[in-house]
Amino acid sequence: MTKAAIHIAAATDQHAASEVPFYQPHGDEVELFEHAYNKQLPLLIKGPTGCGKTRFVMHMAARLKRPLYTVSCHDDLTATDLVGRHLVNDSGTYWNDGPLTRAVRNGGICYLDEIVEARKDTAVVLHPLTDDRRILPLERTGETLQAPVQFMLVVSYNPGYQSFLKGMKPSTRQRFVSLRFNFLDAAQEQQVVIAETGIDLVTAKQLVKLASALRALKQHDLEEVASTRLVVYAAALIKNGFAPIEACRAALVEALTDDEEVTAALMEVVYACFGE
Amino acid sequence: MPEIFVGKLWDQLVSGATASNSEDTTVLFEEIVKPASILFRALGGDQGLALKTAQSTIHQGKQNWLQQLSGIEQKVELAWCDDEALYLPASINLLPQDRLNRELYFWLAALAVEMRPGLWFIENQQATLRLLEKFPGLQARYQRLVYALLSLRPEITTLSYDSAIQEQAIYQALIKPGSISLLPSAPNPWFPIYLWFHPTPPFGGNNQLIPPKKLAEFEPSDDTQSTAKDQRRHKAERQEIQERKDGFMMFFRAESILTWAEYIKVNRPTEDDENTDAKRAADEMETITVTRDGKQTASRIRFDLDLPPEDSDETKLESGILLPEWHYKKQLYLKDYCCLQPVVATNTKTCQLPVHLAAVARRIRHQFESLTSVRTWLRKQTEGTEVDVDAYINHLVEVKSGTFKTDLQLYKTHQIQERNLSCLLLADLSQSTDAYVNNHARVIDVIRDSLFLFSEALSATADQFGLYGFSSLRRDNVRFYTIKAFAEKYNDQIRGRINAIKPGYYTRMGAAIRQAGKLLAQQTTHQRILLLLTDGKPNDLDRYEGRYGIEDTRQALREIRQQGIKPFCITIDEKAGSYLPYLFGTGGYVVIRQPSELPRQLLSLYAQLTV
């Protein structure tokens, strides 16, 4: 029960804020999202860690003025955690909607982050929602909810991040309109870093160059590459007065590897961009 | 013997004076190879290039009087690059601080990223300019290195007029790259420029071609004693033994008796105790002449020869299983290029599990039995070990609303989750597995033990498994040994086949992976794994070596991944870090440092991978 309680706490209701969070489009993903929303199609976003998937969904929810229900999936997440369960209080038992059910009832956007981490049985509740029926049967309460036109299901996963044998089932994957995110090109990423931290253009350029150099090491030397999020962290540290080299070490280099030799090598890349 | 004493003293004096720097600032290639290769790739270098040590070459440059006196030709190690590798000096001790020597290594690795084909004098300057423009952080380092290295260069006032003009231009080109477009000529060559790439890289000079087929009879035995130092490329020169018709003339020609330094017939059988001599001689030599008298070899000198691979014949092969091969330079498949011969040993004696493995096998079987049962909670059961609180609350709701069912499902119990997995273990049975890993065992013995224990363990689980081995002798003879097919039961006959494995020839990895992929694709399990057990990189007698072999293997792995097969590599090659990530990705391989640990490690890895 405690675990379940934590899941629900983790599933946050973010009602349409008056302010739309900053988002730098890569290409035509904003349009695609809007079209998918209008035609009630579910959307799958795949891309590396920290490339802006979550921010994009927040941005779109605010833009479309829909409440957003975010669930971070993990390997203990079951269908019950998404749909809801009965709970007990002084006066007896009562039904508590899960985030997915709330999104359906309120006509919001339900965002399941890292969907492949969730248990396989979650697919069962998602399938009827992702085809043209758009229904959510609640076995426990005997209800069958028909999703309103405002409801949208968005899931994301990181194709490089799964463990050796984990992957998304093809039967689930092909129920979604899919969108691939990659890291932004240099100019766009500079804009993001500046917009997020207010750092000067010169430093933003250096940071982005460093990040793209580190990204060349994907697969060969590093399992994960420097995300835009980490670049923003480094920029925030520098903007706040921390020495650039040390900020890069803390926010980028040490975040990417534990191996001391690799750390030394990555620091060489930092020196190449920032000097010594 | 006073003259000997004096002679020794003189030798010490002269060669001591010519060894230019003290030892403690020396930075070795092995110390920087990993960070330097990471830097090289990060700045945009080709991911497929390996870093190797450069063979020193004679630099007919300026020598000081002591060097001239001692008769030491100045040998220098300069960096250069081809489409196989980036070659860096085996050690650098030019500068008075090890930090600076280290920085010089990193500088060369960084500069390699920007080097393009072009005129040596201009291109080095342009590459420097491009690099500094892209990575301005290197500016300070460059200045520091230029300053330190200029101080090693000859005083202009001591040079002849022409040389002084030339030296002046080099000064200018180093201090302000891009500012000098012409190197003035001088009768003597210039002092080596350590910040730049090699003016005349050793590769490609001599093209008196002989077909590598013959050359290939020179089989470098993969000797465990060989060290990283031997990664250095020897400037090889092919020289055919002239088969003169008037043979007796050849026989007694006095000038055919050559010194070590000019002639070494590396493909003759050598005794073990000659190793050190031959090796040292090879290091001393500028050129090793490889003869082609076609005799089998047991030479223990191991090094890469700079011989351009033959342009292979394109004849179609007919019998056996025909498989394509990937030609990375042409970016296309050579159709039906390899011929794979499936081999099943039929007349092997059955055998029991070797006694020395019995105890550990029993323990491992026990451990693996528990591996099959991945336990999860099964909810809403009519009976079970614990109350299912959710189900109970539900039941209370139903009771209140008057809709409750009579078959109460209020308990939860542990469930054993079925594994649905097949694994093909592909063992490299190349000649190199004949090498000893310690006083008791060869690589092949360790692989044999691994196969035994792996089979013992997996037969205790429900996982499907097959055991195969491979070795090759050119593209038309890739042997693919079936040790245990998926459908076969693990029994004494299979044990007999495991017992009978022996080292074969070479490692044409791509073809073997393609065939293994075909076999795995026939398995209907949910998950399919290819475990590759190897001790070195892909190579074969023909052009299947270096970059070509790596790229074909990479392509073969890409193909099987597309079929939904997960490849994983277990190697005992300590140098695997330089090429395996390119093939299998960072998380797709593991290097076992202690080969004798392989059997145990293999199993714990299998358990980790498949849970």
CATH code of residue A117: 3.40.50.300
Find, among A102, A100, A157, the residue nearest to A130 by Cα. Answer: A100
Do the beta carbons of residue B534 and residue B573 sit within 8 Å? yes
pLDDT band (50, 70, 90) for residue B309: very low
User: What is the token pair recorded at A39?
Assistant: 């035609």
Q: Provide the mean pLDDT of chain B.
A: 75
Scanning B113-142 for CB atoms below 8 A from A yields: 134-141
Angstroms from A239 CA to nearest CA on chain B = 19
Select from A209, A261, A275 the Cβ nearest to the Cβ of B34.
A261
Angstroms from B140 CA to nearest CA on chain A = 7
User: What is the token pair recorded at B507?
Assistant: 């490692």
Do the beta carbons of residue B592 and residue B570 sit within 8 Å? yes
Task: Quickly tell me which residue has 């002989």 as its tokens.
Answer: B210
For A272, the closest chain B residue by CA position comes to: B137
B511 contact A CB<8A: no
Q: Residues A162, A232: one domain?
A: no
Q: Domain for residue B195, yes or no?
A: no
Domain boundary residue among A146, A180, A214? A180
Contact residues, chain B, for A202 at CB < 8 Å = none
Q: Residues A109, A206: one domain?
A: no
pLDDT band (50, 70, 90) for residue A186: very high
User: CA-CA distances (angstroms) from residue B283 to B59, B202, B301, B586?
Assistant: 16, 15, 10, 35
Q: Do A219 and B581 touch (CB under 8 A)?
A: yes
| Distant-in-sequence, close-in-space partners of B471: CB < 8 Å, separation ≥ 6 | B428, B429, B430, B431, B479, B503, B504, B505, B506, B507
Burial class (CB in 10 A: 0-12, 13-18, 19+), A153: buried
What distance in Å separates the CA atoms of residue A3 and residue A1, rounded to the nearest whole number? 5
pLDDT band (50, 70, 90) for residue B372: low
Contact residues, chain A, for B110 at CB < 8 Å = 272
Q: What is the ipTM of this complex?
A: 0.78
Q: Which residues of A touch B (CB under 8 A)?
A: 1, 80, 85-88, 92-93, 95, 140, 164-165, 206, 209, 213-214, 216-217, 219-223, 261-262, 264-266, 268-276
Element (H, E) at B497: helix B492-499
Segment A75-104 mean pLDDT: 86
Give me the domain span that covers residue A254.
186-274
Q: Residues A198, A172: one domain?
A: no
Select from B137, B393, B400 the Cβ nearest to the Cβ of A271.
B137
Give me the domain span that covers residue B402.
374-417
The DSSP bridge partners found for residue B58 are B75
Q: Do A261 and B35 touch (CB under 8 A)?
A: yes
Q: Residues A81, A167: one domain?
A: yes
Element (H, E) at B14: helix B2-18
Q: Residues B429, B539: one domain?
A: yes
Split into its structural domains, chain B has a count of 4
Find, among B232, B231, B241, the residue nearest to B266 by Cα. Answer: B241
Cα B555 → chain centroid: 17
pLDDT digits (tens, 9 = 90+) for B139-197: 999 999 999 999 988 888 888 888 899 999 999 999 999 888 888 888 888 888 999 98
pLDDT for res B261: 38
Residue type at position B202: P
Q: Residues A13, A127: one domain?
A: yes
Q: Residues B63, B95: one domain?
A: yes
pLDDT digits (tens, 9 = 90+) for B77-102: 888 888 778 899 999 988 998 899 99
pLDDT for res B209: 26
Q: In chain A, where do the E strands start and end?
A: 12-14, 43-46, 68-72, 84-89, 92-97, 109-113, 135-138, 143-146, 152-157, 177-180
Scanning B242-281 for CB atoms below 8 A from A yields: none
A201-210, B210-219, B435-444: the lowest-pLDDT one: B210-219
Do the beta carbons of residue B470 and residue B426 sit within 8 Å? yes
Maximal C-alpha separation, chain B: 118
Q: Residues A144, A47: one domain?
A: yes
Split into its structural domains, chain A has a count of 2
Angstroms from B587 CA to nearest CA on chain A = 7
What distance in Å separates the CA atoms of residue B67 and residue B19, rounded to the nearest whole number? 9
The DSSP bridge partners found for residue B86 are B51, B81
Beta-carbon count within 10 A of B329 CB: 9
Q: Residues B20, B137: one domain?
A: yes
Q: Do B39 and A272 touch (CB under 8 A)?
A: yes
Contact residues, chain B, for A81 at CB < 8 Å = none
Q: Is residue B285 predicted with pLDDT exceeding 90? A: no
pLDDT for res B420: 78
Angstroms from A113 CA to nearest CA on chain B = 23
What distance in Å separates the CA atoms of residue A235 and residue A241, rounded to the nearest whole number? 10
What distance in Å separates the CA atoms of residue B302 and residue A177, rounded to the nearest whole number? 56
Q: Residues A9, A125: one domain?
A: yes
Segment A259-266 mean pLDDT: 89
Domain boundary residue among A117, A150, A180? A180
pLDDT for res B12: 54
Q: Residues B405, B530: one domain?
A: no
pLDDT digits (tens, 9 = 90+) for A50-64: 889 999 999 999 999
Q: Do B586 and A220 touch (CB under 8 A)?
A: yes
User: CA-CA distances (angstroms) from residue B402 to A142, B284, B396, B399?
Assistant: 13, 96, 10, 5
Domain boundary residue among B146, B175, B204? B175
Q: Residues B13, B66: one domain?
A: yes
CATH of the domain at B591: 3.40.50.410
Residue type at position B105: Y
Q: Do B393 and A221 touch (CB under 8 A)?
A: no
Do the beta carbons of residue B503 and residue B434 sit within 8 Å? yes
Q: Do B137 and A87 touch (CB under 8 A)?
A: no
Q: Is residue B5 predicted with pLDDT exceeding 80? A: no
A142-146, B484-488, B583-587: the lowest-pLDDT one: B583-587
pLDDT band (50, 70, 90) for residue A35: very high
B42 contact A CB<8A: yes
Q: Between residues B260 and A66, which one has the greater pLDDT? A: A66
Q: Residues A198, A170: one domain?
A: no
Burial class (CB in 10 A: 0-12, 13-18, 19+), B138: buried
Q: Residues B380, B348: one domain?
A: no
8-state DSSP, A252: I
pLDDT digits (tens, 9 = 90+) for B378-433: 788 887 777 788 888 888 888 888 877 777 788 887 766 667 788 999 999 988 88
B561 contact A CB<8A: no
